[in-house]
Amino acid sequence: MRSNLVNGFCLPGARGGWTHSRLLSPACALALGLTGLFLNQTAAAPERLVAEASSRPTQWSISYAGKPVMAYVFDPQKFKPYFQSLNTLDGYGVLRDSPSDHLHHHGLMYGIKVNGINFWEETSGCGVQKVVESAPPEIFENAAGLPQARLVQVLYWLAPEDAFLPNTNAPALLIERRTITLSLDPARRETAVLWQSRFEVGSKTNVVTLTGANYHGLGMRFLRELDPLAVHFTPEGKPDVAGSKQDVAAHSWEAVAFDNPGKPATIALFGAPGNARGDAYFFAMQTPFAYLSATQGLDREPLVYHRGEQFELNYLVTLYPELKSADALAERGRQWSAAGRR
């Protein structure tokens, strides 16, 4: 059953439906992040959906059956919004945020260069992805009855000189409508995130040229203790990332498995074939730390868009508390494609 959050939080009704609780004013509901969003997996004895204002008004944290599933942060004093954590249904995660060796590496983040301005790194002179509109998460069940949460934001991609102008006056290079959909499937022990970004050229310029390093795109950094355990694999087999080697190749997906005693995990990243250039170019690295990112090969050839044009990126991230096979992930990719990448 679907529940729209507009003026407050939604709580379960006595008969299994959703009732509306005006705990916050509309302005506060839009400004404050939510924590403690508990989704229930059993219809017989529903657990209450609990929502409370976060002590950090720019973070959404979502939990399932009392265990944390994800944290998405969008601090206006930072350079970009990103996933700080993403966890299995058992409650443990694989992502690492802002390590000392690369402070700009956030758990799961998206960044490239636009008209030569670096939106990946986070130093003086770099661009800022500024959230200008944000609504509370929408909690609902999909057609299969599985719990989902959807976050929608509008971002201005701003040159550094424009980063602190009022939103009404800030001339954006790009305007992004970002939709993040979290889906939980207890039967197959899957935590899934659908990342959808729809872009248009902003008022700053009439044309944008997208470039970047071979790792610029949707990237993820892993916990330090998982680095030596990381095993990259693709539909075509394992890339050669021995020693200090890096691998960049086009695939429909790439995954990293961690044979961590007591806490095995596999995280997979799928690119939609409808993205510009089709299959993503995946950047894989093992040393000095494990890394995986899905890119559009912007280091090989720029992408150029003009005022009035729109373009879209769709990626799927899946996480499991077990070691998954290439065949199982290939089938998951086929299911996603057949479902219209929903």
Q: Which domains does the chain have, with CATH numbers?
A: 93-338 (2.70.98)
As beta bridge partners, residue 130 has: 156
pLDDT of residue 169: 86
Tokens 């912007």 — which residue?
298
**204, 163 Cβ separation under 8 angstroms:** no
27: helix, strand or coil:
helix
Is residue 44's pLDDT more than 50? no
Tokens 């201005």 — which residue?
156
Band of residue 9 on the pLDDT scale cut at 50, 70, 90:
very low
Please give the residue that has the higher pLDDT: either 50 or 86: 86
Tokens 């990342």 — which residue?
195
Band of residue 43 on the pLDDT scale cut at 50, 70, 90:
very low
Band of residue 135 on the pLDDT scale cut at 50, 70, 90:
confident
**Average pLDDT for the chain:** 85
Spatial CA neighbour of 293 closest among 210, 195, 198, 184: 195
Is residue 54's pLDDT more than 80? no
Band of residue 165 on the pLDDT scale cut at 50, 70, 90:
very high
Q: Give the residue-averaged pLDDT of 61-75.
A: 90
**Which residues fall within 8 angstroms of residue 43, CB to CB, at 6 or more apart?**
16, 145
Is residue 232's pLDDT more than 80? yes
Is residue 265's pLDDT more than 90? yes
pLDDT of residue 23: 31
Which tokens sit at 279? 């299959």
Is residue 47's pLDDT more than 50? no
Q: 141-150, 262-271, 309-318: lowest mean pLDDT where? A: 141-150
C-alpha 181/C-alpha 207 separation (Å) is 30
Is residue 255's pLDDT more than 70? yes
Which tokens sit at 95? 């992502």
Is residue 342's pLDDT more than 60? no
Query: What global pTM score does this model have?
Result: 0.85
Is residue 79's pLDDT more than 80? yes
**192, 168 Cβ separation under 8 angstroms:** no
**Which residues fall within 8 angstroms of residue 62, CB to CB, at 6 or more apart?**
34, 37, 39, 68, 69, 70, 71, 137, 149, 182
Is residue 50's pLDDT more than 80? no
Is residue 13's pLDDT more than 80? no
